[in-house]
């Protein structure tokens, strides 16, 4: 498993949505394993999420968690939770 991580300032297309990577902070957990705090903003269907943090150890884990977050974001938007998010 690779421990490389995407650099900040990046833009990803996941599931038809755009994810902006704002900041990446490297840290070490109690087991002395490298971890990364990645702050992101997602944009789908003309709605933009608030900034959120993901704690990941690799690019694979980051992409897996982003797919999960995008799925939840889409469900909230389709379900009519427009007051939670602002228009892009």
pLDDT along the chain (88 residues), means of 10: 62 93 89 92 90 92 94 88 60
What pLDDT is recorded for position 1? 47
Q: What are phi and psi of 54, to 5 degrees?
A: -125, 135
* 84 vs 88: CA distance, rounded Å: 13
What pLDDT is recorded for position 45? 87
* 19 vs 21: CA distance, rounded Å: 6
pTM score, whole prediction: 0.80
What pLDDT is recorded for position 82? 61
* Entry field: residues in the chain: 88
* 73 vs 44: CA distance, rounded Å: 8
């Amino acid at each position: 498993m690779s421990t490389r991580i995407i650099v900040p300032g990046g833009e990803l297309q996941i599931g038809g949505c755009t994810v902006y990577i704002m900041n990446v902070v490297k840290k070490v957990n109690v087991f002395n394993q490298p971890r990364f705090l990645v702050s992101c903003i997602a944009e789908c269907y003309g709605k933009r999420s608030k900034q959120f943090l993901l704690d990941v150890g690799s690019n694979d884990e980051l992409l897996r968690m982003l797919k999960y977050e995008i799925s939840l974001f889409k469900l909230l938007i389709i379900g009519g939770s427009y007051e939670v998010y602002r228009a892009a």
